[in-house]
A = this chain, B = another copy of it.
Amino acid sequence: MSLPTPPRPSEAAVNSVVAALQTRFGDRAVTNMAIREQHGHGEGLPAFGLPDVVVFPEMNEEVAFILKTCNDAGVPVVPFGAGSSLEGQLAALSGGVSLDMSRFDKVLDVSPEAMDCRVQAGVTREALNAYIRETGLFFPVDPGANASIGGMAATRASGTNAVRYGTMRENILGLTVVTPDGRIVRTGSRAKKSSAGLDLTHLYVGSEGTLGVITEIQLRLYGTPDSIVAAVCQFDDLDSAVNTVVMALQSGLKMARIELVDEMQMKASILYSQLDFEAKPSLFLEFHGTAFGTAEDVELMQAIASEFGGSKFDFAEKPEDRNRLWKARHNAYHASIAFMPGKSSMSTDACVPISELANCLLETKADVAQTGMTVMMVGHVGDGNFHLGILYDANDPVETEKAEGLSFRVARRAIAMGGTSTGEHGVGVHKIVHMREEHGEAVDIMQQVKNALDPKGIMNPGKVYPASI
């Protein structure tokens, strides 16, 4: 298995681009080493590549200028949002320009009547939700990190609310995209649905900056529900927790969130946040609706959980109480890191059909046990998606290889069960080894599209597409 190794542009080409960018952008084109290093990676993985320059554009025309300059010179461009991606998407593998979108931080338009908004790509989801709070609307996609909306679009992110509100895929109506040759193009419309030609919006969503740069996003918004009820239920074993979820989904029960936290993650979270739970497999639930509706849903869910030996629910309705109740889930990442200081956490992202979820989780648990490593598990189980947080010493090659081996097997297991190696994190560099296994010849079609829309291959090279055989 060979990873693609994008060729480095000539030093002269890089120098000409850096000079052109410094002339146009002044101190918004930065070659300071600390800034370049900060832009050479995301989170969680050691994947790293130093960009030659970091540019901070503020409008579409500036992005177009940067891309056209780089395209003419054959110099790579790596779009950079909030820096929270997990699969190595941000490493400038062959140098070039890191395009920092953080100054694209304006909410351009909010329409409470149409229940949509248009934001620049650098707006973070927390900033957006703060901005629109008083309209009574909210944007539901919540990947945990305070990612930028542009980055979430580029990786087709989702998170805890997806079981009810969908992922970025379902919540983007249209985009503004800058092409590698510097055209500024709008895709989609504000209509909820359309059959007007190729769905370019969903071609760019999830393309991880390999086809162009997403600069604006038209988003669907939702009314804040009248009633939000959070609940936690604990189980003696993972199997019972998962079977509760599967039965609830098959019965059509509407939940806004169904998160599984395994006993190891619960142990870490209890320690980290001094929580009054047992270190047992737990479901963190949230119900959205009318007061009647959520009461009915909770009752039905409690009945299903009880059949599988689940505990009596802990409830919360007020925002501060819900947050306290959900703390073990919200703090999972930090709790896992604090559990073994000095270790890194490698994240897996398997997603399988709901019918395979119990099998996949249990086989994975057995696999984890065989490794003897310390591994946490949390899951957006309503979507069939779960993450391992594999604690390992990134400076120890043996431990790193063990972590990589486990991560590899989890992805392949998901694919073999009809699922995907990555439910919401994207491919980056880390999941490329699974692309051919997961997609077969469809990978060649992806490469044909890539070649058509980025013929000089400047956009985020070395990511997503495996090297040709």
Within 8 Å of chain B (Cβ to Cβ): is A157? yes
Which residue on chain B has the smallest CB distance to residue A201? B202
Cβ contact within 8 Å between A187 and B421: no
Known: A189-B419, A355-B114. A196 touches B427 (CB 8 A): yes
Cβ contact within 8 Å between A207 and B196: no
Residues of B within 8 A of A114 (CB): 353-356, 418
Cβ contact within 8 Å between B351 and A179: no
Listed stretches A41-49, A363-371, A446-454; interface member: A446-454
CA distance A400 to B189 in the complex (A): 29
Listed stretches A75-83, A267-275, A313-321, A432-440; interface member: A432-440
Residues of B within 8 A of A225 (CB): 252
Known: A199-B169, A420-B194. A186 touches B250 (CB 8 A): no
CA distance A383 to B185 in the complex (A): 25
CA distance A298 to B214 in the complex (A): 42
Residues of B within 8 A of A439 (CB): 186-187, 196-197
Cβ contact within 8 Å between A193 and B424: yes
Within 8 Å of chain B (Cβ to Cβ): is A34? no
Known: A113-B354, A250-B113, A451-B452. A419 touches B200 (CB 8 A): no
Residues of B within 8 A of A167 (CB): 193
Within 8 Å of chain B (Cβ to Cβ): is A244? no
Residues of B within 8 A of A414 (CB): 191
Cβ contact within 8 Å between A191 and B420: yes
CA distance A439 to B189 in the complex (A): 8
Within 8 Å of chain B (Cβ to Cβ): is A301? no
State how many angstroms separate the Cβ of A167 from the closest Cβ of chain B.
5
Cβ contact within 8 Å between A383 and B187: no
Within 8 Å of chain B (Cβ to Cβ): is A26? no
Within 8 Å of chain B (Cβ to Cβ): is A7? no
Within 8 Å of chain B (Cβ to Cβ): is A423? yes
Within 8 Å of chain B (Cβ to Cβ): is A445? yes
State how many angstroms separate the Cβ of A248 from the closest Cβ of chain B.
11
Within 8 Å of chain B (Cβ to Cβ): is A348? no
B169, B353, B422: the one contacting A116 at CB < 8 Å is B353
Cβ contact within 8 Å between B356 and A420: no
Which residue on chain B has the smallest CB distance to residue A112? B250
Q: Which of A144-199 contact B (CB under 8 A)?
A: 155-158, 162, 166-167, 169-170, 179, 183-187, 189-199
Known: A113-B355, A191-B419, A453-B449. A435 touches B296 (CB 8 A): no
B112, B193, B197, B421: the one contacting A169 at CB < 8 Å is B193
CA distance A354 to B173 in the complex (A): 13
Which residue on chain B has the smallest CB distance to residue A432? B197
Which residue on chain B has the smallest CB distance to residue A162? B193
Cβ contact within 8 Å between A351 and B191: yes
Within 8 Å of chain B (Cβ to Cβ): is A251? yes
State how many angstroms separate the Cβ of A410 from the closest Cβ of chain B.
14
Within 8 Å of chain B (Cβ to Cβ): is A425? yes
Within 8 Å of chain B (Cβ to Cβ): is A385? yes
CA distance A383 to B193 in the complex (A): 7
Residues of B within 8 A of A187 (CB): 439, 442, 445
Which residue on chain B has the smallest CB distance to residue A352? B191
Known: A252-B223, A290-B296. A422 touches B194 (CB 8 A): yes
Cβ contact within 8 Å between A351 and B193: yes
Residues of B within 8 A of A184 (CB): 441
Cβ contact within 8 Å between B192 and A351: yes
Residues of B within 8 A of A467 (CB): none
Within 8 Å of chain B (Cβ to Cβ): is A205? yes
Within 8 Å of chain B (Cβ to Cβ): is A464? yes
CA distance A126 to B127 in the complex (A): 46
Residues of B within 8 A of A450 (CB): 198
Q: Which of A280-309 contact B (CB under 8 A)?
A: 290, 292-293, 296
* 19 interchain pairs, CB-CB under 8 A: A113-B246, A113-B355, A116-B353, A156-B199, A167-B193, A169-B193, A169-B202, A189-B438, A190-B352, A191-B353, A191-B383, A192-B353, A193-B385, A196-B421, A200-B442, A203-B449, A226-B252, A292-B292, A448-B453
Q: Which 5 A-B pairs have the closest CB atoms?
A: A113-B355, A452-B452, A114-B355, A190-B418, A114-B353
- Given A114-B356, A169-B202, 4 more pairs with CB closer than 8 A: A111-B355, A114-B353, A162-B193, A194-B423
